[in-house]
Amino acid sequence: MKADPVSEFRRLVGLEELEDGEIRRTIEAGEEEREALARRFDLVAIDTLNADVRVRRMSGGPLVRVEGRLTADAVQRCVVTLAPLPVHIEEDFVETFGPDGYRASDGGADTDVPEVFDDSGIDLGELAAQLLTLSLDPYPRAPDANVLQEPWAGEDAGDRRRPFAALGEMVQKQRK
């Protein structure tokens, strides 16, 4: 993941910091950062967003492994009623980062391509923000939300009026 100069929640780890081994960080989004992310992701609110992260170079190459636990409390909108729906997220994650254009040495088609870092490093805040959006229900629905029912719902199927019934009746009259 290339560092985004306009990221609302920027927590950069420079690659030079990894030369001495792994680093551990706890990152937490402030109020203004959460508000900006909520606007970006079209959420009612993000009440908390934090992650405990461990970052280390993988042996034998330029790859960096980022693993940790994301915790967030957000409020989405019900897709049916637009009512606010609180959601709590706790997820473990593992991501691999590499330089732009990196390909594994075996070159197999099934080889995972790592996320890309650039010279400035890895933005843990943007990673957390993206993981948050991937953890959200894309179609949140309140438990009591009813989908729109057809006008004849509940009536006997024989009694309902079909959309082209009037046209059919008109054609029948013309044939007589």
User: So what's the pLDDT on residue 58?
Assistant: 85
By CB atoms closer than 10 A (0-12, 13-18, 19+), residue 123 is: buried
Strand, helix or coil for residue 65: strand
Where are the chain's structural domains?
Answer: 12-145
Q: Which residues pair with 75 in a beta bridge?
A: 45, 86
User: So what's the pLDDT on residue 132?
Assistant: 96
**Least reliable range by pLDDT among 40-44, 68-72, 140-144:** 140-144
Q: Which residues pair with 13 in a beta bridge?
A: 122
Confidence of residue 173 (pLDDT cuts 50, 70, 90): confident
Query: Is pLDDT above 60 for 13?
Result: yes
Express each pLDDT in 107-126 by its tens digit.
555 456 678 787 778 999 99
- Pair 11, 123: CB distance under 8 Å: yes
Across the range 53-79, mean pLDDT stands at 92
Q: Which residues pair with 99 in a beta bridge?
A: 117
